[in-house]
Amino acid sequence: MIRKYVFGDPIETEAVIAQIPAEPGVFTEDHVRLTAGTEGMHAFSYGLADKDRIYGLGENIRGINKRGWRYISNCTDDPNHTETKNSLYGAHNFLIVDGADGRFALFIDAGQQVVFDCGYTDRQKLTITVSEGGFALYILESDSLLGLVHEFRSIIGRSYIPPKWAFGYGQSRWGYKCADDIRRVVRGHREKGVPLDSVYMDIDYMERFKDFTVNEERFPDFPAFVEEMKAEHIHLVPIIDAGVKIEEGYPVYEEGVKNGYFCKNADGSDFVGGVWPGRVHFPDVLNPKARRWFGHWYQVLLDAGIEGFWNDMNEPALFYSEAHLQEAAKMLKDTKMDNVDIWKFFTLKDILLNIANRPEDYKLFYHNVCGKMVPHDRVHNLYGYNMTRAAGEAFEELSPEKRILLFSRSSYVGMHRSGGIWMGDNQSWWSHLLLNLQMLPSLNMCGFLYTGADLGGFGADGTEDLLLRWLELGIFTPLMRNHSALGTREQEFYQFGADDSFRRIIGLRYALLPYLYSEFMKAALGGEMMFVPLAFVWPEDAMAAQTEDQLMVGESIMIAPVYRQNADGRYVYLPEEMKLYRMRSADDMDAEILPAGQHYVKAALDEVLVFVRANHLVPMAASAEYVDAVDTSHLRLLHFVKEEAAYELYDDDGISRSVTLEGHLTEIRAKAEGDGDLKICVSGALAPRCGLI
């Protein structure tokens, strides 16, 4: 059951696409209490019993259970996400209370800042505070945690579906400067037989960081280069940034100015911010005309043969606003630099340190929302969403048959229909490997299924063992990309020594692709999660609720990656008897049946632990060097069949936009015979040949 309440006069976010009439009259709810309405803010509170748990909030720090911290929905470009931060790149205002007094979920549909105090100020109290401005509150009820998610997903629309090749392994680095750099990456993989499907192009490829340009010196005849890569089964995926460089003669800039498509100052002039290209304007993607215009600029790269994009810097990040920079410059100039005492010194430092992403700057510019000038801070959390939507909507027109890869750094619920996200600029920290795992289900709740973290870590120096362990999680995430920042240790697999381990582990991803793609597509088409906390599957199992470092991946398997340096294994909790496949490659593994309960399970540095549920199957292919080479006509099964098991395998051509379950399902049935053998039956659309492992 879903109830909707409207407060004030909200700006329509289009996060929810179902038509739900608002409850009439004064707000009154058993579950949550409206506590205050001072200064235009609204606050809701809920008393927490000792064992109550809170789930959700999408992209965020801390655990699967979000209790005990204060989270602020305020899309922020801050790569140093230690456990003390409150905001990451996205705003996902969906939260589930799993309480002694029942289960319910809340969705705060608001483009402005929202604070979720989940027992931070007072351990026994959840308080949600919405900043000034109208908003809608949805209260969802269901008997089960999975039911709450399903209900939410049913009102926010279908998740974005990428082309199948985007499930392949991608290599990225801020710093690949020219075609030869990229050729070197491809060769590095192909020579060692390490699978690869894509190479990402960070800001280096552009001409002076201008969107929709390619530096012709470093990429002469770009379309030919794209073709050359395609012949090697490599897809190039360029980055697009939010800010449009101010430069005479640059058509994106000139068209935007002429048509009034950029964000404005209060006086109607175009707002000037500073990001990579220096001074920029920001496309007003909340204005449908401007959005359509900006989206159609992607055609420049589609025409060059590009089939995938990542949208970046779209919180939007703001290194400075021109107005404040001039102020700061004046302050610096006016400061007498002799006899600098410590307070003056810190003042000077703060002036420059606090110049980026200043809250005050986000109040300086305006969007045209249905003809009304709306200050940016009222819709801040919708910016990245609408930039990505610009591309998504354009692709529907420009590529009506074929799926285009698209994912974004910043996001809001609703964007999940247009593209995926990566988990932002993380660090080469073991703690971020665990954070990667813990974010997966909360993102899935909000419809973000195509997602993954920068494997090996973006910022900071990585190590070989960290990359290997991280890949052992990454082989399960739909977006599987190794990405790192300029100035950090290079972390393509071949920078280290264990080529064979990397080939085997990354190869496993390709072998598991039939299952992973099938589970992804069923989750997308059915409005379900692909990565599920144990607490959601075994809601009455108190130990399952405590388990924050294992996940179900689809219906058949549980994963438990090792995320500690120098560990030779880890503790694993099994809510029920399962079969453990300890996999070294698609062809090299051992299996054992483990009883329900706690175990310390060994996992060498190049071993992946896959736990198969009783009476479940996992269809696998042979490994391959790229997605197109995965042979889905011959499958092998991981299996734990005590009586009988059935698996519905989804597959399609991997590229057509129009997809339904119908016509794409194959039923694989396995039955235990008296002699311990399994009898396999396959029927349906594709009917591959199936054997056992």
Of residues 252 and 601, the one with the C-beta less far from a copy of itself: 601
Nearest Cα to Cα of residue 436 among 459, 454, 416, 449: 454
Of residues 84 and 660, the one with the C-beta less far from a copy of itself: 84
Does 427 help bind a copy of itself (rule: CB under 8 A)?
yes
Q: Of 27-35, 348-356, 629-637, 651-659, which part binds a copy of itself (CB under 8 A)?
A: 348-356
Among 144, 259, 546, 656, binds a copy of itself (CB under 8 A): 546
* Tokens linked to 651: 């597959």
DSSP character at residue 12: P
Among 3, 10, 34, 120, binds a copy of itself (CB under 8 A): 120
Q: In what order do the strands lie in the sheet with 198-201?
A: 451-452, 420-422, 405-408, 308-312, 235-241, 198-201, 169-171, 480-482, 454-455
**SS percent in the chain: helix, strand, coil, step 5:** 30, 30, 45
DSSP character at residue 24: P
Instruction: Give dist(CA 35, CA 270) in Å, integer.
Output: 40
Among 431, 526, 584, 587, binds a copy of itself (CB under 8 A): 431
Question: Which residues in 211-222 are b (16+ Cβ under 10 Å) and which e?
Answer: bbbbbeebbeeb
Does 573 help bind a copy of itself (rule: CB under 8 A)?
yes
Instruction: Give dist(CA 359, CA 280) in Å, integer.
Output: 18
Residue numbers 592-611 binding a copy of itself by CB under 8 A: 598-600
Q: Of 33-41, 59-67, 126-134, 251-259, which part binds a copy of itself (CB under 8 A)?
A: 59-67
Does 681 help bind a copy of itself (rule: CB under 8 A)?
no
Q: Where do runs of H (alpha helix) occur along 446-498?
A: 464-474
Does 428 help bind a copy of itself (rule: CB under 8 A)?
yes
Give min distance, CB of 53 to a copy of itself, in A: 7
Among 231, 267, 353, 674, binds a copy of itself (CB under 8 A): 353
CB 535 within 8 A of CB 547: yes
Of residues 232 and 548, the one with the C-beta less far from a copy of itself: 548
Please work out the total of residues on this chain that contact a copy of itself, with binding judged by CB under 8 A: 69
Q: Of 22-30, 61-69, 147-155, 282-290, which part binds a copy of itself (CB under 8 A)?
A: 61-69
CA 168 from centre of chain? 16
Instruction: Give dist(CA 183, CA 179) in Å, integer.
Output: 6
Give min distance, CB of 656 to a copy of itself, in A: 42
Give min distance, CB of 351 to a copy of itself, in A: 8
| Backbone phi, psi, residue 2, to 5° | -125, 130
Of residues 236 and 505, the one with the C-beta less far from a copy of itself: 505
Does 349 help bind a copy of itself (rule: CB under 8 A)?
yes
Does 320 help bind a copy of itself (rule: CB under 8 A)?
yes
Q: Of 368-376, 473-481, 562-570, 613-621, which part binds a copy of itself (CB under 8 A)?
A: 562-570
Query: Which amino acid is it at 93?
Result: N
Among 18, 37, 82, 259, binds a copy of itself (CB under 8 A): 82
DSSP secondary structure, 407-457, as one string = EESSEETTGGGT-EEE--S-BS-HHHHHHHHHHHHHHHHTT--SEE-EET-
Does 563 help bind a copy of itself (rule: CB under 8 A)?
no
Cis peptide bond upstream of 195, omega within 30: no
Does 683 help bind a copy of itself (rule: CB under 8 A)?
no
CA 382 from centre of chain? 16
Give min distance, CB of 83 to a copy of itself, in A: 5
Instruction: Give dist(CA 142, CA 525) in Å, integer.
Output: 21
DSSP character at residue 363: G
Instruction: Give dist(CA 614, CA 579) in Å, integer.
Output: 7
Of residues 116 and 320, the one with the C-beta less far from a copy of itself: 320
Of residues 80 and 683, the one with the C-beta less far from a copy of itself: 80
Q: Contact positions toward a copy of itself, by CB under 8 A?
A: 53, 62-63, 65, 67-69, 80, 82-84, 120, 122-124, 274-279, 319-320, 325-326, 329-330, 332-333, 337-338, 340-342, 345, 348-349, 352-353, 355, 427-431, 459-461, 463-465, 496-498, 542-543, 546, 548, 564-569, 571, 573, 598-600
